[in-house]
RNA sequence: GGGCCUGUAGCUCAGUUGGUUAGAGCAUGCGCUUGAUAAGCGCAGGGUCACUGGUUCGAGCCCAGUCAGGCCCA
């Protein structure tokens, strides 16, 4: 009998599966989107909307996409999708950085010793880049990112390369490009100058030496001595001693003249005691650094004299307070040398071996780090070695070859940043930086950066189109670069490497007999020129937003800013957003993590959990800080996903048989319906504001809370009786469906930027023909503010009633709450509220008694249990045909047998 | 070593101009339900707000230092 009545219930029914099975379902949706060119359709739909330009920073076309890429790309896409649904037209052109050392290095390894002509190398590099562009493209697309994936921008496209050259031409035209012999970071492993970004620090053990520099007789008077005296210097790079041309002291530092074992020497008083073998005790005489300026000394093993100079970079942290100066081998040294007129001596070749110029036959041809002990022995033989010791310090290494780098002077090309530094700093102020401290970072980077070394001794890159005459004088003009750009646009940069110098010179109208430069341009110029090659050509300048990891303040944000300011005096972006790095749960970077040693690759993760889970993870985090990644966090996120999915599912189940035409007018809604609908409006308002502020984690929290608290635990739970037991045609039931329909429609649109696949799946399940991503966000109507007082009270009363209900349950007096009746004592409730209270408590009966303080008493419900709706009541079982039913169910059964 | 940041329950986040017993969701435990069931509901426990010191009548919020972590630079 009871089974029959169950058939008269309107239980939720839907084909929307509880199990998401995203790894299977998502690729099908992706195929559908690609098949119907959804990206194109969206652009067409928004063609009259205001445009919003998010310019993609090009990742390096090397290796699989990892979690860091996933984080950044998902954030970009959530911005794009939310802007699209807010009505903007959002074209997105993804890009890749193709040139550069890492690829060339890989290719050189693969090629081994065979064919090393530039064109072969370059062809292999291009193939390598294309391979990884395809791989990464598939991985990014799989994330559900909409964009012009068929026409991305590649920094190796001839048209792009031409614009890189035109950018350079503009800077040449302004006179900001020059050539100079200057110490640069030099990788002996890769035999090239390196950019700052290509260097990493790691511990290295070096031989350090304390060396006597004998003061010349002519300076004895200055020191008030008449016997031989030496200056003690300390260095961790003995191999640079052949290039020593001076000694620096700090003007304000105190120096002492010491005597020990009949020998006189000078050292900073603060450091004397730390000298190995120091036993001299108190100094005989004291000097300020300023007193020592101009003292002449004899080079320890070369026939050369040097002087003492003042410099502000001298410290008394380590060493002797006297700093050995080799202008060809250090940045500080070089600058001091420039100031006082020292030569830039750098007797080291490309491989890091000392040359004839070093002046010591035994050292010629020796790798610098192998030369250190030879220099030490030389010093010892000359009686100039005070002491030597092993010294461990963080030392710069080449990020590719892992060999220690050296400072070495070579002729390089530079951009004179001082030409436009002030302008760049001014432009920084006009940009909105999120988080705000980003402005400090980039300002610091721009303020302190030295001139930009733009030449590289590599082949996989845009050529620096310079010529040299037989005396080595460079020929480089803006016109010449522009002519090259025009040809490159047509023929690609291989043309420069394939063609004879004579041939190119002739085309450019240059004299004969010139030598073709073989350097390439720093890849940071490549990517930095994207505002010209992409934003100006294919989008609209300046871009509204750049969004990259926070390491790019010194990287792409800076190179883009500098080239843009140099070319046209404007920042290329209006707003810059940064995300932190993916770290493990202890806040450690993944590569140092105990748990996640390898970079976690994106695709295996997506194939296992689904893109929407990964995207939900991204949305759940405040990405402005570092973003933790762990199994536990993903388990939690998966739980949250189920919450949303199941909420949507039960809504769809309850909407079975409902169509918008059956919607009921507001005037017919119950108070609960009105309240929940108003809460939905609050949710919409909150979420739209959060999207506007790019605070996706606020969207996440608001949506999850709404689903679990407002819907699942309250509205849907309370409405079960109405939905299951009322007659299908009942107004109360239709009113609830009207609200649920609105809720699910809004909810799906709101989550679409975060979970594009699940949103689409739901949207289609609702019977829509057209993608949810073509829709606009719902507009927020009037919120629940006007219901606030009453409903805060009602919710509070509900939890007061739940306590004794729970006690009764624990005591086995009742099971489900419908088995209970409640006496509610308190004030402010009218008899008219009784039915509402009974509904929201989900009990069979509520009795009101007035009292000063609020309390509730629970007892097992009296009367007969209706077998259909499970409610107890004194009026139940009165109908002769249906003796087991309550009056409401009797009616429902009679209406709808 | 320097610059810029971060540090609130197991996890993810809120905490307005410093002002009562620091909040939410999830997770956990216990119970209920079996008409959202590889689901749902209820109740409960859980935080010296990284640490130390200071300013204040009062500090998670302000100041100084320490520790841990990140990015960048040396």
- Strand B: which bases are under 7 Å from protein Cβ? 3-6, 10-14, 24-27, 30-44, 68-74
**Which amino acid residue lies closest to nucleotide B41, measuring CA to C1'?**
A713
Burial-class residue A627 by CB neighbours within 10 Å (0-12, 13-18, 19+): buried
Measured distance CA(A267)–CA(A323) in Å, rounded: 11
Give the distance, in angstroms, between residue A78 CA and nucleotide B39 C1': 30
Beta-bridged to residue A548, according to DSSP, are A578
pLDDT tens digit sequence for A285-307: 888 877 888 888 988 888 898 88
In this prediction, residues A429-450 reach a mean pLDDT of 91
Measured distance CA(A834)–CA(A841) in Å, rounded: 11
A439 Cβ nearer than 7 Å to chain B strand: no
Band (A317; pLDDT cuts 50, 70, 90): confident
pLDDT tens digit sequence for A761-815: 999 999 999 999 999 999 999 999 899 889 988 999 999 999 999 999 999 999 9
Burial-class residue A550 by CB neighbours within 10 Å (0-12, 13-18, 19+): buried
Q: Tell me how long chain A is.
A: 897
A625 Cβ nearer than 7 Å to chain B strand: yes
Nucleotide nearest to A650 (CA to C1'): B36
Place of tokens 């807010």: A86
pLDDT tens digit sequence for A852-863: 888 999 999 999
User: Residues 217-276, chain A: which have Cβ under 7 A from strand B?
Assistant: none
pLDDT over 70 percentage in chain A:
98
Place of tokens 């629940």: A784
C-alpha closest to that of A797 among A851, A867, A720, A759:
A851
A449 Cβ nearer than 7 Å to chain B strand: no
pLDDT score at A731:
93
Nucleotide nearest to A202 (CA to C1'): B74
Nucleotide nearest to A587 (CA to C1'): B69
pLDDT score at A12:
95
Give the distance, in angstroms, between residue A659 CA and nucleotide B3 C1': 61
Give the distance, in angstroms, between residue A136 CA and nucleotide B39 C1': 38
pLDDT score at A344:
86
Query: What is the phi/psi pair of residue A646, to 5°?
Result: -70, -35
Q: How far is CA A407 from CA A35, A187, A244, A333, A352, in A?
A: 55, 9, 14, 11, 10
Give the distance, in angstroms, between residue A546 CA and nucleotide B50 C1': 34
pLDDT score at A598:
59
Beta-bridged to residue A96, according to DSSP, are A154
pLDDT score at A594:
63
Band (A2; pLDDT cuts 50, 70, 90): very low
A113 Cβ nearer than 7 Å to chain B strand: no
Instruction: Enter the DSSP assignment of A814.
Output: -
| Residues A759, A752 contacting (CB under 8 angstroms) | yes
pLDDT tens digit sequence for A595-629: 665 557 888 889 999 999 999 999 999 999 999 99
Nucleotide nearest to A646 (CA to C1'): B36
Q: Strand, helix or coil at A760?
A: helix
Give the distance, in angstroms, between residue A669 CA and nucleotide B52 C1': 60
pLDDT score at A274:
80
Is A263's pLDDT higher than 70? yes
Q: To which H or E segment does residue A856 belong?
A: strand A855-860
pLDDT score at A647:
97
pLDDT score at A108:
82
Place of tokens 């060396």: A211
Evaluate whether ipTM surpasses 0.95.
Answer: yes
Q: How far is CA A508 from CA A160, A465, A469, in A?
A: 21, 11, 15
Mean pLDDT, all residues of chain A: 91
pLDDT score at A191:
80
User: Residues 328-357, chain A: which have Cβ under 7 A from strand B?
Assistant: 331
A11 Cβ nearer than 7 Å to chain B strand: yes
Measured distance CA(A581)–CA(A112) in Å, rounded: 35
Q: Where are the alpha helices (DSSP H) in A384-477?
A: 421-430, 437-448
C-alpha closest to that of A445 among A561, A535, A335, A539:
A561
Band (A397; pLDDT cuts 50, 70, 90): confident
Provide the 10 A C-beta neighbour count for residue A429: 10
Give the distance, in angstroms, between residue A640 CA and nucleotide B24 C1': 14
């Amino acid at each position: 009998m009871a089974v029959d009545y169950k058939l008269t219930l309107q239980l939720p029914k839907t084909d929307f599966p509880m199990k998401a099975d995203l790894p299977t379902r998502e690729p099908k949706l992706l195929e559908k989107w690609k098949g119907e060119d959804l990206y194109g359709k969206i652009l067409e739909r928004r063609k009259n909307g205001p445009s919003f330009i998010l310019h993609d920073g090009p990742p390096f076309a090397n290796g699989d996409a990892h979690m860091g890429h996933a984080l950044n790309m998902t954030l970009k896409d959530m911005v794009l999708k939310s802007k699209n649904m807010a009505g903007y037209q959002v074209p997105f052109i993804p890009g890749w950085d193709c040139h550069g050392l890492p690829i060339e290095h890989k290719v050189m390894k693969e090629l081994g010793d065979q064919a090393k002509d530039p064109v072969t190398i370059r062809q292999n590099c291009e193939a390598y880049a294309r391979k990884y562009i395809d791989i990464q493209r598939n991985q990014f697309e799989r994330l559900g990112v909409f964009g012009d994936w068929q026409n991305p921008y590649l920094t190796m496209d001839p048209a792009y390369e031409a614009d890189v050259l035109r950018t350079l031409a503009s800077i040449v035209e302004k006179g900001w490009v020059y050539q100079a012999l200057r110490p640069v970071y030099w990788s002996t492993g890769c035999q090239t100058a390196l950019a700052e970004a290509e260097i990493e620090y790691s511990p290295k053990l070096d031989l350090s030496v304390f060396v006597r520099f004998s003061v010349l007789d002519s300076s004895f008077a200055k020191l008030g001595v008449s016997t031989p005296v030496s200056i003690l210097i300390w260095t961790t790079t003995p191999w640079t001693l052949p290039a020593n041309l001076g000694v620096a002291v700090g003007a304000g530092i105190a120096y002492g003249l010491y005597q020990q074992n009949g020998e006189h020497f000078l050292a900073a008083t603060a450091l004397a005691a730390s000298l190995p073998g120091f036993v001299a005790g108190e100094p005989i005489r004291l000097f300020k650094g300023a007193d020592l300026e101009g003292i002449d000394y004899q080079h320890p093993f070369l026939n050369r004299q040097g002087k003492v100079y003042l410099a502000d970079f001298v410290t008394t942290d380590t060493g002797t307070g006297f700093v050995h100066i080799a202008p060809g081998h250090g940045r500080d040294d070089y600058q001091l040398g420039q100031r006082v007129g020292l030569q830039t001596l750098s007797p080291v070749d490309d491989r890091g071996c000392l040359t004839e110029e070093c002046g010591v036959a035994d050292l010629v041809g020796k790798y610098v780090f192998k030369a250190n002990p030879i220099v030490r022995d030389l010093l010892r033989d000359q009686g100039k070695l005070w002491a030597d010791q092993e010294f461990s310090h963080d030392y710069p290494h080449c990020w590719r070859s892992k060999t220690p780098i050296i400072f070495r002077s070579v002729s390089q090309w530079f951009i004179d940043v001082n030409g436009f530094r002030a302008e760049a700093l001014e432009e920084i102020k006009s940009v909105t930086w999120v988080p705000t401290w980003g402005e400090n970072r980039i300002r610091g980077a721009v303020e302190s950066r030295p001139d930009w070394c733009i030449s590289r001794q590599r082949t996989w890159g845009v050529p620096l189109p310079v010529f040299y005459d037989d005396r080595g004088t460079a020929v480089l003009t803006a016109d010449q670069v522009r002519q090259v750009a025009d040809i490159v646009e047509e023929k690609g940069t291989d043309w420069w490497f394939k063609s004879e110098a004579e041939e190119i010179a002739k085309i450019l109208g240059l004299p004969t007999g010139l030598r073709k430069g073989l350097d390439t341009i720093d890849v940071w110029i490549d990517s930095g020129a994207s505002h010209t090659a992409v934003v100006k050509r294919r989008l609209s300048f300046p871009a509204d937003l750049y969004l990259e990891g926070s390491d790019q303040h010194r990287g792409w944000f800076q190179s883009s800013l500098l080239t843009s300011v140099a070319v046209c005096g404007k920042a290329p972006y209006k707003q810059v957003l940064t995300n932190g790095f993916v770290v493990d749960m202890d806040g450690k970077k993944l590569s140092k993590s105990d748990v996640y040693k390898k970079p976690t690759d994106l695709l295996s993760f997506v194939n296992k959990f689904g893109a929407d889970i990964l995207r939900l993870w991204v949305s759940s985090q405040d990405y402005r800080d570092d973003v933790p990644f762990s199994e536990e966090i993903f388990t939690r996120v998966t739980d949250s996903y189920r919450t949303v999915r199941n909420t949507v599912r039960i809504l769809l189940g309850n909407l079975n048989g409902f169509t918008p035409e059956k919607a009921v007018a507001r005037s017919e809604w119950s108070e609960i319906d009105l309240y929940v609908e108003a809460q939905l409006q609050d949710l919409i308002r909150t979420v739209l504001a959060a999207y506007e502020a790019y605070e996706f984690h606020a969207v996440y929290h608001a949506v999850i809370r709404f689903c679990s608290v407002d819907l699942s635990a309250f509205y849907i739970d309370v409405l079960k009786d109405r939905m299951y037991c009322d007659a299908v045609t009942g107004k109360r039931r239709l009113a609830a469906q009207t609200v649920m329909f609105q809720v699910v429609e809004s909810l799906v649109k709101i989550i679409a930027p975060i979970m594009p696949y699940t949103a689409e799946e739901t949207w289609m399940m609702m019977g829509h023909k057209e993608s949810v991503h073509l829709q606009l966000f719902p507009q927020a109507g009037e919120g629940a503010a006007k219901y606030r007082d009453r409903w805060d009270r009602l919710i509070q009363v509900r939890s007061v009633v739940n306590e004794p209900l729970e006690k009764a349950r624990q005591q086995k007096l009742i099971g489900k709450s419908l088995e209970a009746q409640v006496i509610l004592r308190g004030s402010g409730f009218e008899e008219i509220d009784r039915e509402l209270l009974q509904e929201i408590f989900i009990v069979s009966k509520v009795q009101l008694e007035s009292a000063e303080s609020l309390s509730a008493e629970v007892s097992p419900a009296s009367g007969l249990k209706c077998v259909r709706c499970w409610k107890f009541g004194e009026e139940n079982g009165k109908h002769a045909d249906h003796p087991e039913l309550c009056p409401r169910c009797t009616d429902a059964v009679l209406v709808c047998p």
